[in-house]
Amino acid sequence: MGRIDIITAKPKGEWRRVLPGLLLSSVSIGLVLYLADLRQVWSAIQNLNLLFITGTLFITLLWLSVRSKVWQTLLQEHVSYKQVFMTLNEGYLLNNILPFRMGEVGRAFLLGRKSGLGFWNVLSSIVIERALDLAMATGLLLAILPFVVGAAWAREGVFVVGGVVLFGFVVLYLLARNREVILFRFQVLVDRWPIFSKIGSNVIPAFLSGLGVLTDGSRFIKVVAWMSLNWLLTIVQFYFLLLAFFPSAMVIWAAFSVSVVSLGIAVPSMPGAVGVWELSIVAALSIFDLDLSAALAYALTIHFSNYLVTGVLGAYALVKDGESLLGLFNRLRLGKEIS
């Protein structure tokens, strides 16, 4: 049996890599604390109906179930649903407590080892998944902006992000489409400079293999369909809990919050996007002239519900796999067993 260890110290020099995210999260926390009245925040949380908490936790679990199906489809069903579901929660647990978005690398390592697909093959599916998330977020925000008064300032930024995401998809598609050509060119490179064989002989074929879903039209449509359902559940989750704090809430408030927070947490921050998550939601809801203290209480509650569900499931899965957080973190940081 494994155990969950608390990481109490970081290796020397790594604080420099953590610093940008730490600063951004610290500024975000400072802003939300300045804007909100903490007594009102606590009062709003205390008065929260248990029905809304239970419902939110259930929707979160349903969201994770659909999200696992998204990932399994990206993996072309080479891995069982149970393995995907448990590993997904392990990854979210790691993201919530470790720096550098370690959860994405962690779940690629864990599932690659358990399934036999290998780290790089699984990682390519996660790259596509994250790109789809950004595409969904930018598309949703662009669709909502015309109906959100006072948010026109965001249009240019969304177009930039959308352009970057589209460019990324084109690059990934071209890599997948020209897999044989790339492997041939790489072999020519290896024949001329054998040192490249040690660097990419396993990495490149595995990564390109994982991108194969992009050239399978029917499978990719399934991925988009599952991902769309996943995002619809996110909006439902946000809207359902929003009603607990703002009984006259509108769906567009929840949808706008979802799109803003999804783009907000893409930037470097502390583990779990602490501070950035809360500020993104408070900023989004402020557009609708809502009480900022209640908005912060809402942001904290929905953030905690995600932490709770993925934390419990992720910890259980790590123990079942015989892993410890400290040991796993060290292996990932040092690149051990990643091949």
User: What three-state secondary structure class fits 157?
Assistant: helix
- Work out the average pLDDT over 101-107: 86
Q: What is the pLDDT of residue 339?
A: 58
The predicted structure's pLDDT at residue 59: 96
**Count: domains in the chain:** 1
Q: What is the pLDDT of residue 100?
A: 66
Q: What is the pLDDT of residue 183?
A: 73
User: Does residue 6 lie in a domain region?
Assistant: no
| 9 found inside a domain | no
| pLDDT, position 250 | 94
Residue 216 lies in a domain: yes
Q: Is residue 22 part of a domain?
A: no
> Does residue 338 have a pLDDT over 70?
no
Q: Which two tokens stand for residue 232?
A: 């619809």
Interior/surface letters 141-168, b for 16+ CB within 10 angstroms, e for the rest: bbebbeebeebeebeeebeebbeebeeb
The answer to whether position 30 is within a domain reads no
**Would you say residue 27 lies in a domain?**
no
pTM of the model as a whole: 0.84
Does residue 151 belong to any structural domain of this protein?
Answer: yes
The per-residue pLDDT for range 241-273, each reduced to its tens digit, is 999 999 999 999 999 999 999 988 877 777 778
314: containing domain:
40-334
Which pLDDT score is estimated for 23?
83
Kindly state whether residue 262 falls inside one of the protein's structural domains: yes
Cα separation, 207 vs 185, whole angstroms: 16
